[in-house]
Chains A and B, each alone.
Chain A
C-alpha cells in the first residue's frame, strides 16, 4: 500500500511542481529552480528506495475512472530500469540547464515544460494500461516539442515542424494499432493483451503500425529523419533528454509491443534486426561526415539506438536463450543514457563559451582545459567501447548474443550481421576520435585557456557523477546483474546468465574494432574529409549533397498525394453548385430566349437615345437659347431705359424667360422618364439571371410536390 502511494507520488509531485513552478517562476527564479531540483531529487530518492520492494515482486496501482479506463500503473524490474534511468538523468540535465539557459529567454516556460516532459515520461514507463501509455506518450511528444523549438528561430521551427508532424503521424499510427489490437484482444492491460487469435497478417499489420509509431521516437532507420534536425535545434539540456531518455520511450514501446502483443512475431523481429543494423551503420556513417559537434553526437545517438534495437530483436529471436540479449539491451539503454549525457554536456560547455558548434571554428578549444578534456575522453572511450568502461560491457553482451544467434540459426544472415557489427563499432571509434582530436588535441592560437570561468560546478558536477557511473558500471558490471536477471525473467528469457566480459575473445574483438576504427579515422576522415582550403585544414561534409530521405523522398511524395487529393476534393466541394449553374445555363440556352442579350442590346440603344434626348433638351432649355436673348433684351432695355419702347420690350423679354423656364421643366421630366426606362431595362436584365437559379429550385420543389401528391393519393386510397 505504501509502495503504491509512493508510485503515485512519482507522478503527482512532478505534475504539481510543473504547475507551481510555472506560477512561482514569474516572481522568483531561484526559488523555482530549487523547487524543481528538490522534486527531481525527491523522486530519485523514491526510485532508489523502491528497488527493494520491486525486487520482491511487482507493484500494481489502480486509480479508477481517470481518463475513462482508469489509470493503471505497474512497476516491475523491466520498468524499473527505465524509470531509474529517467530519474537519474533528469536532475543532472536540470543542473546543467541552470547554467546553459542563463542567457536564454522564456526560462520559465522551459522549466515548466521540462518538468511536464519528465512527468509524462515517468507516466509512460509506469503505465500498464496501453491507453494510459499512449496518453503519456502523446503528452510527452507535445511537451518535448516546445523544448525543441525553444530558441524560436527559423531553424528550430523547421526542425520542430518535422518533429511534431512525425510525432503526431506516429501517434495516430500507434493509436490505430492499439485500436486494432484492442478489437482482437478485448483488453487494454498490456500484460494480458494477446493477439494469438489473430491471423499472422493481422498481427504483422498491427505490429508494424505500432512499431512505426514508436520507431519514430527510437529513430529506427528510415524513420530517423527528424532526429538530426531536432537534436541540433533543441537547447543542449533538451537534446540530452531527447537522446538519453525520450528515445528510450520508443524503445520501451517497441519492447512492450513486440513481447506482449506480438509474442515475438518472427517477421517483425527479423525486420527490426535488419533495420537495427542499418540504423547502426547509417547513423555511424553519417556521424563521421558531420562537422557540427551536436550533429556528430545526434547521429551517434542514432547509431547507438541501433544497437538497442538489434538487441531487442535478438531477445525475441532467441526466446528463452535470450538472457544475454536482455542483459546487453537493457544495460546498453542505461549506459547510452549516461554516456550521451556526459558527451552532450561536454559539447554544451563549448557552446556556452563560443556559441558555435562547427569543428572548423572550435577546433583546439579544449586543448588546455585538462579537467574537461579528461571527463570528455572518458565518455568518448566509453561510447567507443573501451574495455573497462560501461559501453564495452553492454556492447560485448549484445555482440555475444548475436554470436549465440549465429550459433543457434546457422546461415549467412547472422555471419553478415556479425561482420557489419564490427564495422558499425569501428565507425563509433572513428567519429569519436574525429570529435576528440579536433576539439581537444588540435592546436588553435585563438584558444589559450580563456573561458575557464564558464566551466563551473553545474557543468562539472554532473560530468563527474556521470564519469563515476561510467567507471563503476564498467568495472563492476556484475553489480547490476540482479535487476537485469529479473528483467530477463519478465521478458521470457532465462535469467541465469554469466557473461564473460573479459574473456580473450571479447577483448580481441574489441582490439579489432579499435584498430579498424583507427584505420577508418586515418584514411577516411583524415584524408578524405579533411582538406586543405586556403592553407587551412578544413573538414568538409560531402554528405550534404547525398539524397535526403525527408526532402527528396517523403516531402515530394506527400506533396503529390496532397495535391491530387486537393484537386479531387475541391471538385467534390463544388460540384453541386457548379451543376446547378450548369443546368441553369443549359435551360437558358435551350429556351433560346437570350433575354439578357436582347435587353442589353436594346437597353443600350434605349439608354443612348434617352441620353441624347436629355442632352439636346438640356442644351435647348438650359438657356443656351434663352440667355443670349435675355442678354440682348437687357442690353436693349438698358439702352432704351426711360424710353417708350422699354415697356413692351421688357414684357416680351419676361415672356421669353418664362418660355425658357417652361421648357427646362419639361426637359427634366423627359430626362427622368428616360432614366426610369433605362433602369427598368437593366433591372430586367439582372432579374433574369436570378430567376433561372430560382426556377431550378422551383422545378425541384414542383417535382417533389408532385411526388408527394402521388404518394398521398396512394395513401388515401389505401386507408
Chain B
C-alpha cells in the first residue's frame, strides 16, 4: 500500500486535468470543486504521511541515476504541509480576487497542477526526482506568471523561463558531477558524500565535488532569488496577486530554498560542505543579496515590486542560515522558511486586496488608506512588524536563531548584516503602514472610491488575511511547538 504516497501528488494533477472539462465542471461548480480538491488533498496528505511513516517508494527505477524515488521525511512533510496549508488560504483568497481577471478556469487548472508539483518536490527522495519536479514547477507556474497576457507579462514570462531553465541546467551539471563521483544521489540526513569513502585526498574528486556543489547551489539559487540571479522575481510581479503571493511564500522561491537545504544537508552534509570550503565563495554573495534586496526595496514605488525585493532580502537570510553550516543557523533557516512564508503571503494578500478594492498599485497612493481599510491595514502593520523582527512576533524568533547561528560561525558581520537589513526593512515598509493611518494628505483619488464607505474586502478575502495575521502573532508568542519540530529536523542532520 506504500504506493499511496503518490496520492497527494497525483490527486491535484488528475483534478487539474478534470477541471478542464467545462461540461462536467461548469463555471458554477468550478470554485467549490477547487476548494474541495485543495482541502481533500490536505487531508489525504495528512492521512498518508501518518499512515506510512518513513515510507520509501520507487515510482520508476531504470538504473541508479534514473530513479524516481519518493521518500517523505520530516523536512519534506513539513514543507508539504506548509505548502498545502497556504494553498488553502490562497484558494479562498483567489476566489474573490479572480473575479476581476479573465480565464479563471485556466488559472485554477495550473493552480492545482502546481500544488501537486510542489508536494512532489517536498517528497523527492533523491536529486534526480527533485530535478524532474523542479523543471515541472517552472512549466506549471509559467502560465500563471503570464496569465494577464499583456506584453509586459509575456516579457516577464520569457525572463522567468530563461532564468529558471538556465538554473536548471546548472543543477543538471552539478547533479552529474556529483553522481560521477558518488554513484548515488539519494538524500540522507547528514549527506551521502563522505570523504573517508572516496579517498578525501584525491584532488580531482575534491575539485569535482566543489564545482558540483557550487553549480547545484547557484542553480537552485536562481529560484531562491540569489543575487545576481534574482532579476526574474521582481518582474514576475505582473502575475495576479494570488500567484505572486504563492510564488513568494511557498511555491517557487521556497522550493529553491528547500532544494538548497536538500543539497547542503541531505546530499553533501554539513561536514563535507565545510571540508569543501564552499561557503567561503557563497557567503559574500549572500550577504550582498541580503543588503541589496532591502536597499533596492527602498527605491520601489510599486508595492508588489517593493515586496518582491523584500523577498529577495529575506530569502538571503534563509540562504545565509543554510550556508553557515551550524545547527542554530539551520534552525533559523527552517523557522524563517515557515515564518517568512506566512508573513509574506499576508503582505501580498493585503497588496492584492488594495489593488482589488481601489486599483492602487503604488506606494504613494496609499496615504490614508488605513482609515478606509482598517482591518486589512492593521493586519499589514502587524505583518510588517513581524517582518522587521520585532518581538513578540514570529519574525523575531527566526531572526534570533539566524543571528545566533551567525555568531556561532564567529563572524559578527553576518549578524550586523541581518540587523542592518532589519532596519532597512523598517525603513521601506513601516512608513507605508504609518502613512496609511496617520497621513493628513489630501487623497482625492481615494475619496472618489466607494463614497466614504469602508473598503475592507469581502469575507472570502479578509478571513484568510486575518487568520494568517493571527498565525503570525501566535507563532511569535508560542513558538515552541514549531521550534521543537524544527530542532528535531536539525538534530537529524548534525
Q: Interface residues, chain A, CB within 8 Å of chain B?
A: 65-68, 131, 134-135, 138-139, 142, 149, 152-154, 157, 160, 164-165, 168-169, 171-173, 175-176, 179-180, 182-183, 565-566, 569-570, 572-577, 697, 700-701, 704, 707-708, 711-712, 714-715, 718-719
Contact = CB atoms under 8 A, between A and B. Distances in A.
Contacts of A569: 288, 291-292, 295-296
A681 to B, nearest CB: 22
Contacts of B183: 719
Contacts of A565: 291, 295
A142 B392 CA distance: 12
A704 B227 contact: no
Given A176-B416, A576-B228, 5 more contacts: A67-B476, A153-B440, A168-B423, A171-B390, A565-B291
A182 B404 contact: yes
Contact of A711 (B177, B231, B408): B177
A152 B419 CA distance: 29
Contacts of B388: 168
8 contacts: A142-B385, A168-B423, A182-B404, A565-B291, A572-B292, A573-B231, A704-B172, A708-B172
Looking at A149, A179, A719, the one whose CB has the most chain B CB atoms below 10 A away is A179
Interface stretch (B66-74, B85-93, B453-461, B478-486): B478-486
A150 to B, nearest CB: 9
Given A171-B390, A572-B288, A577-B231, A697 B478 contact: no
B392 A176 contact: no
A572 B392 contact: no
Contacts of A135: 391-392, 396
A711 B162 CA distance: 24
Given A168-B388, A183-B408, A697-B162, A576 B231 contact: yes
Contacts of B412: 176, 180
B203 to A, nearest CB: 16
Contacts of B296: 569-570, 573
Contacts of B397: 68
B422 A68 contact: no
A142 B438 contact: no
A68 B483 contact: yes
Contacts of B466: none
Given A138-B390, A704-B170, A172 B423 contact: yes
B415 interface: yes
B430 interface: yes
Contacts of B177: 711
A168 B176 contact: no
A154 B326 CA distance: 48
B426 interface: yes
A704 B483 contact: no
Given A176-B419, A704-B169, A67 B479 contact: yes
Given A575-B228, A711-B176, A134 B404 contact: no
B44 interface: no
Given A576-B228, A577-B231, A134 B391 contact: yes
Contacts of B391: 67, 131, 134-135, 138-139
Nearest to B427: A165
B377 interface: no
Contacts of B422: 172
Contact of A715 (B169, B180, B390): B180
Contact of B480 (A65, A139, A160): A65
B69 to A, nearest CB: 20
Given A135-B391, A152-B438, A183 B180 contact: no
B278 interface: no
B166 interface: yes
B403 interface: yes
Interface residues of B, number: 53
Contacts of A168: 388, 390, 423, 426, 430
Interface of B: 162, 166, 169-170, 172-173, 176-177, 179-180, 183, 227-231, 288, 291-292, 295-296, 298-299, 385, 388, 390-392, 396-397, 400, 403-404, 407-408, 412, 415-416, 419, 422-423, 426-427, 430, 434, 438, 440, 476-480, 483
Contacts of A574: 231
A-B complex: 8 closest residue pairs judged by Cβ atoms: A135-B391, A576-B228, A569-B292, A715-B180, A172-B419, A183-B407, A68-B479, A569-B295
Nearest to B64: A719
Nearest to B381: A142
A700 B215 CA distance: 14
Contacts of B408: 183
A717 B177 CA distance: 14
A167 to B, nearest CB: 10
Nearest to B483: A68
Nearest to A164: B430
Contacts of A152: 438, 440
A715 B179 contact: yes
Looking at A139, A565, A718, the one whose CB has the most chain B CB atoms below 10 A away is A565
A152 B439 CA distance: 7
A134 B400 CA distance: 12
B176 A712 contact: yes
B215 to A, nearest CB: 9
B179 A139 contact: no
Contacts of A183: 404, 407-408
A714 B288 contact: no
A82 to B, nearest CB: 21
A149 B423 contact: no
B466 to A, nearest CB: 16
Given A176-B416, A715-B180, A67 B392 contact: yes
B316 to A, nearest CB: 12
Contact of A707 (B173, B423, B438): B173
B299 to A, nearest CB: 7
Contacts of A711: 173, 176-177, 180
Contact of A704 (B173, B299, B407, B434): B173
A578 to B, nearest CB: 10
A451 B353 CA distance: 50
A708 B291 CA distance: 35
A712 B166 CA distance: 19
Contact of B423 (A157, A169, A575, A715): A169
Contacts of B407: 179-180, 183
A565 B291 CA distance: 9
B167 to A, nearest CB: 11
Nearest to A150: B438
Contacts of B480: 65, 68
Contacts of B291: 565, 569
A715 B176 contact: yes
Nearest to A172: B419
A701 B296 CA distance: 30
A182 B415 CA distance: 13
A577 to B, nearest CB: 6
Given A172-B422, A572-B228, A139 B176 contact: no
A530 to B, nearest CB: 36
A700 B166 CA distance: 8
A718 B416 contact: no
Nearest to B419: A172
A65 B434 CA distance: 32
Contacts of B179: 715
Contact of A66 (B172, B416, B440, B478): B478
A694 B479 CA distance: 48
Nearest to B421: A172
B477 A66 contact: yes
